[in-house]
Structure 1
Amino acid sequence: MTGLFGQDAYAVRFDWGPVGATAVGAEVSVVVDVLSFTTSVTVAVERGMRVFPFAWKDSRAQEFAQSRDAVLAVGRLEATRPGAVPAPSLSPAQLTSCPLVPRLVLPSPNGSSITTVLQDSRSTDDVFSPEARSAADLFVAVADAGRLDESMHNCVGGRELIAKGFVADVDVAAELDASTTVPVLVDGAFAPIGQGE
């Protein structure tokens, strides 16, 4: 997006959702959906899984998984039903201990939708946009004050997951510097940086 609402003059930009991902038009994009998608991707990739994002869990998701010889993740709530077979889901905590699968399709209305949009778009200078600088400054301020865990558990998304019985997902997402893996989208799937298909 150019003109009044664009951030084209900045190398590091920040925006929200699939529309924002398209509007930012960056050469390199970082998707942040901490309480679910990006934490789940990081956990799965650290454990050796390749993760294929898919925007929604519908009939197309199963076809997509089959075409990539991958397992389709079940819903977070579906994974907790009595008698449920242990299977990967969008739960970061559950992904820390579920059976390993080499290839996983991870549907997500937020993170996967944004990732899907970014695969179809790709412009820059050398400074943070005001939006990106504000987001980075806020994170540093909260982390330096020792309030990251508290903020994650008390934000709307954190409270929603806790109310649904997923406090462990918030716990995993709130861990600072717990991972040494950087998942990078390569040929449609997330893998550790430097590894392709």
Structure 2
Amino acid sequence: MICRVTSPYAQDGFGIGFEWGPVGAGVVAGDIVAVVDVLSFTTAVTVAADLGIDVYPYRWRDETAVTYAEQYDAKLAVGRSEAGPDDVSLSPVSIRRVTGITKLVLPSPNGSTIAKLLSDSGATVLAVSLRNRRAAAGWVKKHGAGRKVVAIAAGERWKDGSLRPAVEDLWGAGGFLSALQGDNLSPEARAAVAAYDAVADELPALLHECAGGRELTQYGFGEDVAIAAEVDGSDSVPVLEGGTMFRST
């Protein structure tokens, strides 16, 4: 008889889990996985979904991204700092003002990368932010009976490439899990819920004052933080279809 030892990091035995970053997404498996990148990938995806725009996540913004966008006849988002008035970027403001597009390739080193990694796992992948955390939880309650749910906070990167846990993603993931009102949460998931519940009455002010919010504001993208802080402002639930595009259900 072969005895298989389960990883202590997998949060097995719990119906609802929580972890950080691409490595965590690979360790804590779920039937339904909510990717949370509040500043700004999943916020941008929800803004696009509100407008009926399908979003194709992509890891790098390079020549391969150009070819990828051409393959799907989609608009390729440019870098935030290089975007002109008619361009689309990771900035939710740029997406909200755009007209005439229905498909968008949106490169992102964090949330988009995790979504692409999960696309081969067989999990149902949702794009979740503070804007749609309640709507996404409602979708899971309707479609996820008996299925393990995991929230993955994307986090950011320090200059040395290591993961920087970003509190806005902790709040986004915790807000989604809190709205689920489920039981059988892993200790990690309970901690995320507690983090959100502790600040829920102080959002959006705290989103502007956290490190990520201050960084974007410093670079002139304070309006993006304001959009990310539209708690429960969206009813869209973008689901990754065919491993290639987020489309709101």
Verify same fold: TM over 0.5. Answer: yes
Q: 2:213 aligns with which of 140, 155, 158?
A: 158
Write out the 4+ residue segments of structure 1 that deviate beyond 3 Å after TM superposition: 122-126
After TM superposition, give the deviation of residue 101 of structure 1 in Å.
Answer: 0.9
Alignment match, 1:136:
193
| CA deviations over 1:133-152 (Å, ceiling 9, x no partner) | 21122112211xx2111221
Any stretches of 5+ residues in structure 1 without a counterpart?
Answer: none
Alignment match, 1:181:
236
Alignment match, 2:109:
109
Structure 1 or 2: larger strand share?
Answer: 2
Structure 1 residues 2, 88: closer, same or farther in 2, change over 3 A? farther
Contact 1:9–1:124 under 8 Å retained in 2: no
Any stretches of 5+ residues in structure 2 without a counterpart?
Answer: 124-146, 150-182
> How many residues are matched?
187
Alignment match, 1:39:
43
Letter in 2 for 1:189: M
3-state SS of 2:11 partner: coil
- The worse-fitting range, judged by mean Cα deviation, of 44-53 and 9-18 is 9-18
Q: 1:74 aligns with which of 75, 78, 82?
A: 78
Match status 1:192 vs 2:248: yes
Contact 1:52–1:104 under 8 Å retained in 2: yes
Supply the distance in 1 between the matched residues of 2:114 and 2:7 (Cα, whole angstroms). Answer: 23
Letter in 2 for 1:133: R
| CA deviations over 1:140-182 (Å, ceiling 9, x no partner) | 2211xx2111221111111110110000000000111111111
After TM superposition, give the deviation of residue 124 of structure 1 in Å.
Answer: 4.6
Match status 1:28 vs 2:32: yes
Supply the distance in 2 between the matched residues of 1:85 and 1:166 (Cα, whole angstroms). Answer: 14
TM-score by length of 1: 0.89
TM-score by length of 2: 0.71
Alignment match, 1:168:
223
3-state SS of 2:88 partner: coil
User: Percent identity between the aligned chains?
Assistant: 48
